[in-house]
Chain A
């Protein structure tokens, strides 16, 4: 496939690795400790595991898998709200497939569907809008989640519903924003990150400027990265060059997709439909100020939060789950008490095990669970 295959060339990967290795050796010697780089986005986590990039990189580079998987940070209470909407009579509840298996306090959407709720997976919010046109006697609710990448698509779908006067369609808005999240990670006292791989597809919407604070206030290099193996390796090389030269900048490896100024039309649609919430509750990370959006008053007739009365309860994560610590990179997935035992991709307890972009699911699927030396002996017994 064009724009994909070229960025998977093994020879290029080797050429990059040859340049990364001496820079890592030099820096590790200077600092006397391994380097920690965080990939913010779950898409990168997925790519890193799929292509075994962590094994290719020098041992002294540790990749910390950040909080950028929207499915993984969804709190249980929000899943319960989804189930409550879906179980109303005359509702068709639509969602991206990723969210189907996220556990709620009583059940997941998949379990609710098995019990008879009309829940359908869609590829695009536009497909949900089509369903609303086809079933005027039903209320079709779309579960909107994701960072800025996905926000424009739901905003434009709402604008389309307005244009066509489709009243039996609404959005359950759970969109979240990346900048407060990165800030929360940087302010976390138990983290010591040396640099960031920036989220490529969020950045194609918001551009590269909003990240300047990472370099200026927090003195960390950040490289906006694409999702193919060569993209990730080149980005690591760019971070290493910055560290080597004592620079802290926001650089853009993914120029073919990410314009520095972002996407004006997309941002316009987003700000027309959405406004910031005072705070948003995250699984594992708790409440983060201004980290979510809701629909503006003008669009309340398409707002599921206005149309339905929701339980909106705060449900604590299961005690045995350590998703929060994994999300912040404080522990590795295999150090969690339930990893690979009570919590597997088939029967996930924590959200990190649900989505293929979640760190735990990636560790489990790509075999890191089998490394006996990584599992404490009492767990093996």
Chain B
């Protein structure tokens, strides 16, 4: 119940009820956007934004930069592992 799923805002459908159409894995659903629009912000600014959808509400605007940072950090680890594997292999080679 507490899980959420990422989706992309494709249209603002009802500004009075704060509803947008959000594409979640190809399925479009009406989602309330009250929690992801800051005061004075125009609803149109949500178009194209990625949001976390939870029980019919957009609960968080996904920070794409943060997501990229996490992944970049992690892929560095992976590259480092490959480097280390290569170093280990070379040490073993020279020992045999």
Contacts and interface: CB of A to CB of B under 8 A. Distances in A.
Contacts of B66: 255-256
A19 B76 CA distance: 13
Given A1-B25, A11-B78, A126-B56, A257 B1 contact: no
A257 B66 CA distance: 9
Interface string B71-86: 1001101101100000
B90 interface: no
- Give the secondary structure class of B's interface: mixed
Nearest to B25: A1
Given A12-B74, A15-B78, A255-B69, A152 B59 contact: yes
A298 to B, nearest CB: 19
A160 B55 contact: no
Contacts, number: 131
A51 to B, nearest CB: 14
Which of the four size classes fits the interface of chain A? 35 or more
A204 B60 contact: yes
A227 B54 CA distance: 14
B70 interface: yes
A357 B1 contact: yes
A153 B74 contact: no
Interface string A238-264: 000000000000000101111100011
Interface in A129-176: 145-147, 149-150, 152-153, 156, 160
Cβ-closest 7 pairs across A and B: A124-B56, A256-B67, A255-B66, A15-B77, A256-B66, A15-B78, A3-B6
Interface of A: 1-4, 6-7, 9, 11-12, 14-16, 18-19, 41-43, 46, 68, 70-71, 96, 98, 123-127, 145-147, 149-150, 152-153, 156, 160, 199, 201-202, 204-205, 227, 230, 234, 253, 255-259, 263-266, 269, 355, 357
